[in-house]
Structures are given as structure tokens and as C-alpha cells.
């Protein structure tokens, strides 16, 4: 007997930081900052979208809304048509800052659709592999989608016609710190600055540092400074975000901190850590580093320590 479809579903999808320096389009980290979505099917076939928080006065509230588009694609993949819907979005992830706001919307939409379709994973929770395949196809690259779906630190890749990902638990000594500016930068513009090819030596350099990054994040944070060096994308994007690259250079060269561009920018990510035990936002070592970052950044950046989100997208039990 087919179980009844839920009358309402709620989904929470985290922010993410991709690339982490050398891992272009492959490495990502889920963060404890979230967008929340609630979807309620309607019998009259109408679509109503309410948006609160980030982008509330900017994003469309019809079929063009990214969450709605993701839900429609997911229903289409399942051979069904998206029903009438009341969709409520509570956005906390800043838009166009390199924090995976679009991936959160896409993953949130696909996860909501999966729940409405009655799809569940082996553990009874979200069908993460199906959500990942659909969402990565929609996004076109998996580096933000993978940590948003699976949580933790992820290595994403493409094998044949499927997306793959490995999710690993970061060392508890790690504490990501974000420097979020007021200005924005579109991913399309940032990607448009990348060259069609790079020197073999630079590709080899990044391959080694990306491998080192996994070791650094998952057990050897003392190597984070070396692991976060990049030669494939950050400097090429400097013309679009000079202040971002200036801050990255200052934090690295003057403060000795493992700072990188978060995703396509313009946010700066600093992968801070403590010597022993689990890092907390109030740990004395982290507080000291935060003061140092603020001195370099000045007043134009919002400095946010954000622990790693370990679980990824969450879809609490559907409401009957």
C-alpha cells in the first residue's frame, strides 16, 4: 500500500563554502547558517510564494523563484507535475556572497519535492543521493551542492553520467570564520574571468594542495596555511573583487592566517583552529584570532565565526 502524501513539509538547508583555496569545483564545507523552506500543496493549482529575510524584496515570487524551479524539476524527474503550492522561504544566507545561497535554494527545493513525493533514504531521512543528483544537475557544478546535501567536509566529483561525493567529518579543532562584505559578486561574472587553460605546473601545484587540504581539515589543521594556497582561480578573479583579494593577502602575509576566497567571492573564509580540544566561538584562541581579523578587515566586513554543519540538508518528519 502506497503511504499517503504529506500535507506539509519543512526543509532546512545550510550555507556552504566551496573551493577552500585549491579545491576548485570539488571541495566544500557546510556551515551553521540556514535557509528554511515550508511547502504546502494546494488543491486549487495556484502558486503562492512568500519570502522573508535575505532577498525578500528582490527575488521573484512566481514560477521563476529558484526553489519553485528546483521543485518543478524534481517532480518532472519523478514523472509528475508540480502541484499547486504555498511556499514560504526564510532566508538567512546572504545572496551573491560566495556562501552557496543558490545551492541552498536548489537543494531545499529538491528536498521539499522529494518529501512531498514520499521519497526517503535508507535511514528514513531525506533521499540524499537522489537529491544530490537532481540538485547538482541543476546547479551545474557540485562543490556547494555536496556539502549542502551531505554536511561536513565534502569532496565532489563527476563519474560518467553521475555525480559522486564523499563526506568527511572535520577535525573538531577547526573553526571557520567568515568575513562577509556588503557588496556582491555574481558567480557568472567571477567564472567569466577564469582562463580556458592554465600552466601544467599550476595544475600540479593545486592537485597537491587539494590533497593536503583533506588531511588538514580532517586531522592535521597545523597544515592549513600551506593547504589553502591556490594558483587556479583566486588571482584571476582579483579584478572583480580587489578588496577581497587585498584582505586575503593581508590575512595571509601579515597575520599568518589560512585565508581564502569563499566560493566565487566576495566573502573571505579563514579556517581557524585551536591547539587542543574542540574549537568554540568563545575559545580564547578563536577570540584572539577574531580580534586580529577585525583589525585587518576594518568596519566594512561582517566577521562571523560559524561552526561546521555536520548533517547537511534536513527534512523533519513530513506533516500529515
Which residues belong to the annotated binding site?
94-104
Q: Which residues contact residue 29 at a Cβ distance below 8 angstroms, ignoring those fewer than 6 apart?
A: 16, 17, 18, 20, 147, 152, 153, 154, 170, 176, 217, 308
As a whole number of angstroms, the distance between CA 65 and CA 58 comes to 11
Cβ distance 97 to 180 under 8 Å? yes
DSSP code, position 153: E
288: left (phi over 0), alpha (psi -120 to 50) or beta: alpha
Which runs of consecutive H residues, i.e. helices, occur in 99-254? 101-116, 128-139, 145-150, 187-192, 200-217, 224-227, 242-253
Cell digits of residue 277:
580540544
Residues annotated in a binding site for ATP: 94-104
Cβ distance 70 to 32 under 8 Å? no
As a whole number of angstroms, the distance between CA 35 and CA 147 comes to 14
Place of cell 594556497: 229
Amino acid at each position: 500500500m502506497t503511504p499517503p502524501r504529506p500535507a506539509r513539509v519543512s526543509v532546512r538547508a545550510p550555507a556552504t563554502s566551496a573551493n577552500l583555496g585549491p579545491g576548485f569545483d570539488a571541495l566544500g564545507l557546510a556551515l551553521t547558517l540556514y535557509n528554511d523552506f515550508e511547502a504546502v500543496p494546494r488543491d486549487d493549482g495556484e502558486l503562492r510564494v512568500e519570502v522573508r529575510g535575505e532577498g525578500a524584496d528582490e527575488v521573484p515570487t512566481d514560477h521563476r523563484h529558484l526553489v519553485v524551479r528546483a521543485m518543478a524539476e524534481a517532480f518532472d524527474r519523478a514523472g509528475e507535475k508540480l502541484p499547486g503550492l504555498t511556499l514560504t522561504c526564510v532566508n538567512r544566507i546572504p545572496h551573491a556572497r560566495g556562501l552557496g545561497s543558490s545551492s541552498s535554494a536548489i537543494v531545499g527545493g529538491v528536498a521539499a519535492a522529494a518529501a512531498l513525493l514520499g521519497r526517503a533514504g535508507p535511514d528514513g531521512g531525506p533521499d540524499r543521493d537522489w537529491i544530490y543528483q537532481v540538485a547538482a544537475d541543476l546547479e551545474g557544478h557540485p562543490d556547494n551542492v555536496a556539502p549542502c546535501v551531505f554536511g561536513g567536509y565534502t569532496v565532489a566529483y563527476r563519474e560518467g553520467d553521475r555525480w559522486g561525493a564523499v563526506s568527511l567529518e572535520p577535525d573538531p579543532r577547526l573553526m571557520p570564520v567568515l568575513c562577509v562584505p556588503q557588496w556582491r559578486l555574481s558567480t557568472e561574472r567571477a567564472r567569466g574571468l577564469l582562463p580556458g587553460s592554465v600552466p601544467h605546473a599550476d595544475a600540479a601545484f593545486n592537485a597537491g594542495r587539494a590533497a593536503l587540504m583533506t588531511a588538514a581539515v580532517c586531522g592535521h589543521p597545523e597544515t592549513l596555511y600551506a593547504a589553502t594556497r591556490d594558483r587556479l582561480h583566486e588571482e584571476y578573479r582579483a579584478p572583480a573583487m580587489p578588496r577581497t583579494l587585498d584582505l586575503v593577502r593581508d590575512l595571509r602575509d601579515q597575520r599568518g592566517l589560512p585565508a581564502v576566497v569563499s566560493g566565487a567571492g566576495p566573502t573571505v573564509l579563514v579556517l581557524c583552529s585551536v591547539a587542543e580540544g574542540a574549537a568554540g566561538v568563545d575559545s580564547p584562541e578563536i577570540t584572539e584570532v577574531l580580534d586580529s581579523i577585525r583589525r585587518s578587515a576594518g568596519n566594512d566586513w561582517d566577521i562571523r565565526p560559524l561552526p561546521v554543519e555536520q548533517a547537511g540538508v534536513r527534512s523533519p518528519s513530513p506533516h500529515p
